[in-house]
């Protein structure tokens, strides 16, 4: 596996693949890799027929709305490289902030994401998706993959990126891969290593509540269901920020089951000082 720190070196490596129009899979990450990330790499390298799989590790400062969150973000680069090589990755880009955002280059992305950007994570993390759109567009321009692999774990992010790719007419297919979970149901996340033992025991309640929501939807209104979910999370010692049901395609929040053919339940909750998100198609 090759490790590149410079954009131009990665592009020189990829040139023969571009010349022959070969499929290239790309997995952007912020590092501190776990099996969720690696499942994306494996899908690209072993399941799909990409001839080359590239991953990036870049903790993007522009998508953090709190400086302390950026500072506390876990970083385990040496371990990450070993895991990526084992998962079948051919090359990794680990760029500096200046490589991604060279001084003088206007990288800002101005797209109206409408509901996709203004609800849930968009409402609770102001500016977050502008930062995501900015970094993903820049990374896609750098890597020029044919296939992009992203996790359902960040459901809203995948829809935002699909819209970005569509808006800029990038010839890239965006693949949404299933959420990988711990045995007790907790969605894998780089942030999980910051959970205290007590909150690590409490955190799987997020998944349980999503599962319960799937059953409750038969018997309760959307409003009752959301209230039940929020109070279950609170009773279990978590601090929910939102529990919302939305149209799985547009992310418009729904008030009645008949409002959407497919419904996604999305949740953000604090486990101590760690903010966790999860979702489920119900
Ligand atoms: P991050 O490093 O958090 O930016 O995540 C990089 C990619 O890995 C994103 O597309 C995430 O959605 C995906 N990802 C993170 N956690 C999981 C998980 N538990 N299952 C599947 N994909 C995941």
pLDDT tens per residue across span 192-226: 999 999 999 999 999 999 999 999 998 999 999 99
Active-site annotation holder among 34, 37, 128, 147: 37
Three-state SS string over 69-129 comes to HHHHCCCCHHHHHHHHHHCCCCEEECCCHHHHCCCCCCCCCCCCCCHHHHCCHHHHCCCHH
CA of 224 to the centre of ligand 1 (A): 31
pLDDT for 14: 97
The confidence score (pLDDT) of residue 36 equals 98
Distance 151 CA to ligand 1 centre (A): 5
> What's the CA gap between 146 and 83, in Å, rounded?
23
150 CA distance to ligand 1 centroid (A)? 7
Indicate the top mutation candidate among 75, 154, 182 to test ligand 1's pocket, ranked by most ligand atoms within 8 A of CB.
154
> For residue range 231-264, what is the model confidence (pLDDT) as tens digits?
999 999 999 999 999 999 999 999 988 888 999 9
Distance CA 138, CA 141 (A): 5
Lining ligand 1 with CB less than 6 A are 29-30, 36-37, 39-40, 150-151, 153-154, 177, 179-180, 187-190
User: At a CB cut-off of 8 Å and minimum separation 6, what does 117 contact?
Assistant: 129, 160
147 noted as active-site residue: no
Q: What percent of the chain has pLDDT over 90?
A: 86
For position 126, what pLDDT does the model report? 86
Highest mean pLDDT among 72-81, 113-122, 181-190: 181-190
Q: What is the pLDDT of residue 18?
A: 96
CA 209 to chain centre: 21
The pTM of the whole model exceeds 0.85: yes
CA 134, 12, 151, 169 torsion: positive or negative?
positive
- With bands split at pLDDT 50, 70 and 90, how would you rate the model's confidence at 20? very high
């Amino acid at each position: 596996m090759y490790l590149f720190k410079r954009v131009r070196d990665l592009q020189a490596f990829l040139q023969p693949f571009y010349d022959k129009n070969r499929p290239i899979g790309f997995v952007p990450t912020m590092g501190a890799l776990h099996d969720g990330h690696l499942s994306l790499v494996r899908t690209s390298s072993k399941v799909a027929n990409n001839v080359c799989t590239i991953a990036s590790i870049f903790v993007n400062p522009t998508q953090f709305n709190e400086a302390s969150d950026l500072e506390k973000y876990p970083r385990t680069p040496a371990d990450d490289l070993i895991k990526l090589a084992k998962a079948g990755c051919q090359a990794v880009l680990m760029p500096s902030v200046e490589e991604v955002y060279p001084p003088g280059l206007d990288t800002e992305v101005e797209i109206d994401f409408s509901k996709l950007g203004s609800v849930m994570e968009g409402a609770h993390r102001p500016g977050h998706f502008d930062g995501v759109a900015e970094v993903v567009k820049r990374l896609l321009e750098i890597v020029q993959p044919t296939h992009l692999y992203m996790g359902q774990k960040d459901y809203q992010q995948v829809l935002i990126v699909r819209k970005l790719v569509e808006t800029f007419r990038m010839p890239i297919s965006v693949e949404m891969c299933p959420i990988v979970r711990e045995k007790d149901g907790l969605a894998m996340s780089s942030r999980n290593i910051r959970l205290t033992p007590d909150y690590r025991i409490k955190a799987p309640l997020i998944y349980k509540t999503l599962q319960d929501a799937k059953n409750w939807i038969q018997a309760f209104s959307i409003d009752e269901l959301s209230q039940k979910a929020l109070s279950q999370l609170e009773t279990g010692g978590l601090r929910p920020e939102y529990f919302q049901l939305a149209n799985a395609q547009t992310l418009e929040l729904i008030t009645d089951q008949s409002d959407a053919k497919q419904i996604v339940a999305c949740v953000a909750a604090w486990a101590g000082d760690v903010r966790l998100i999860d979702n489920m198609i119900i």
